[in-house]
Amino acid sequence: MAGYPLPKVWDQVELAADRRRGTELFVENRKEEGPRAFSALCTELRPRVEGVFRATENLLAFDGSLFRADPMAWEVARYLCAPPISEEDLWTYVGPSKFKRVPPAYADDTAQALSPVLDPVRFPWLAEQRAPTDSELSAALLSTTTLWATQQLATRRRGAISRRQEAATAVVLEQAGLHFEPSRTRVDMLDEMTRGTFSRERVVAGAKCDVPVRLPDGRMLMIECKVSNGPKNGWKRVNREVVGKAEHWRAHFGVHAITAVVLSGVFDQSCLATAQSAGVFVLWEHHLQPLSDFLSELSY
């Protein structure tokens, strides 16, 4: 909208400086966390892996009774496969819509989907229909636990960082005089959010937004929070996900839509420049003062 302030657009030198600092912080955090976090997660997950082995007689009796007794056992069971099966693939194989607990009616279907692809390398005794040796069982438990823990650690890191980004963003918004609106109902029209408020993880015009903000001047500011561990991942997180949403929101709200992304981690500079050229305003978790500056320019 003509005459209305917009967030800062960075030049290449400024982009490079924040990109470099984001990478430095990512490396520092990973070094501090390191093996300690992985070891703790393995200790947490190991009993659940052992429980599945006990319940299935070391996988020799892998059937629907496992999931009837423990509807969450699918979380372990998909890491028994070669290669591990994603949640989406499992839902496709079994047939029902997404689930967090295996429905009793699908317990047998879940077992039948997984049992043909149990890993013959980690579990060589299955092909011979015999009990595992002590060394085979020990190796199988360890390898399955570490395989699961590796994926879980990556998932938890992303979730923890996203929550941290959202919390840091909320602090800036509150300091600027905006108020938190707890509603999670979808927003399809501007006035379905009160001016001067923000929310968390809400569907806006059909697309999920991490922190939607109704600015005091009436515009909608959609803030996405993204973390990346490398340039390739960064392109996916920013240019495929955020830029796509920005285009969608502009098509829906027109000039009343502003999209920004709060970044943490490792991103390619050309990724950031491309996002800016597509109309996405770039912010960093370690450098949120520009968001505060933008908000201070608005008329309340």
292: domain CATH number?
3.40.1350.10
Same structural domain for residues 212 and 269? yes
Q: Quickly list DSSP for 39-60.
A: HHHHHHHHHHHHHHHHHTTTTT
Are 281 and 8 in contact by the 8 Å Cβ rule? The answer is: yes
Same structural domain for residues 190 and 127? no
pLDDT confidence of residue 214? 97
pLDDT confidence of residue 30? 79
Are 202 and 220 in contact by the 8 Å Cβ rule? The answer is: no
- pLDDT per residue, tens digit, the chain (300 aa), is 556 889 999 999 999 999 999 999 998 887 777 788 899 999 999 999 999 999 999 999 999 999 999 999 999 999 999 999 999 899 888 876 778 899 999 999 999 999 999 999 999 999 999 999 999 999 999 999 999 999 998 888 878 888 899 999 999 999 999 999 999 899 999 999 999 999 999 999 999 999 999 999 999 999 999 999 888 889 999 998 999 999 999 999 999 999 999 999 999 999 999 999 999 999 999 999 999 999 999 865
Structural domain span for residue 63: 34-155
Same structural domain for residues 27 and 164? yes
Last residue of a domain, one of 118, 133, 155: 155
Closest of 143, 158, 129, 35 to residue 79, by C-alpha: 143
Q: Which amino acid is at 11?
A: D
Last residue of a domain, one of 125, 155, 185: 155
Closest of 23, 24, 15, 29 to residue 161, by C-alpha: 29
| Sole residue written with tokens 């319940």 | 55
Closest of 300, 166, 156, 286 to residue 226, by C-alpha: 166
Alpha-carbon distance of 106 to 103, in angstroms, equals: 5
Same structural domain for residues 188 and 173? yes
Q: Which amino acid is at 151?
A: Q
Total number of domains constituting the chain: 2
Same structural domain for residues 170 and 26? yes
Which residues are CB-neighbours of 126 under 8 A, at least 6 positions away?
59, 60, 118, 120
Alpha-carbon distance of 234 to 265, in angstroms, equals: 9
Whether the model clears a pTM of 0.75, i.e. scores above it, the answer is: no
